[in-house]
Amino acid sequence: MVKVLIVYATDWGSTKKMAEAIGRGVQSVKETECLIKTADDTSEQDTLSSDALILGSPVHMGSPDYRIKKYIDKVCSKIWMADKMVGRVGAVFASGGGFGNAGGGCEITMLAMLANLAELGMVIVPLPKNTPGYHLGGIHWGPYGRSMGEKMEQTGLPDERTEAAYHHGANVARVTHLLKDKKFLNGL
């Protein structure tokens, strides 16, 4: 059995919807458990008992929501100090208005979360171009759900924009099955 933890923050529900789509993808893979928690509610034990960690955030001013960062600062930094997640699997996702047709800052948002995963020594799963639904919701670093139209009008997050997120979850689960309990990074 493999355990995947999805940690997110949400304002109006779009990032939560992305988290749930990823969760369904995770659970589409046999012998896989998925735990979905908000950043505020995720403990060190939740994190340590997971084989994979998927972080997701709304894009706020071009970087992750402070609640995600608080989880990273308060929970993940202790784990980093003790090298306890080295060799596990990590991935990211985001959502946002995307005002400007250029991602609205989702790339640095994702990279700030990926930095945390890399610091923890986790193997990173990107979003391949041939992922179903990629054209509607993603970038090479992970799935992105756009929740606004071109004039900053709230459109919500249509289901077809979460298709890539579903497959991202399945990809992470499959990589985690292949790497679990192997000793391949610095013998740990």
Residues 52-81 that bind a second copy (CB under 8 A): 60-67, 69-70, 72-74, 76-77, 80
- Residue closer to a second copy by CB (options 30, 129) is 129
Nearer to a second copy, 46 or 107 (CB): 107
Give yes or no for a contact between 164 and 133, defined as CB atoms under 8 angstroms apart.
Answer: yes
| DSSP E strands, 65-165 | 89-96, 123-124, 138-139, 142-146
Which of 19/157 has CB closer to a second copy? 157
Which of 116, 85, 92 has its CA nearest to residue 171?
Answer: 92
Q: Which of 26, 54, 157, 179 binds a second copy (CB under 8 A)?
A: 179
Q: How many CB atoms lie within 10 A of CB 130?
A: 7
99 near a second copy (CB under 8 A) = yes
Taking the mean position of all CA atoms in its chain, how far away is CA 85? 16
93 binds a second copy (CB under 8 A): no
Establish if 6 lies at the interface with a second copy (CB under 8 A).
no
Q: Which amino acid is at 180?
A: K
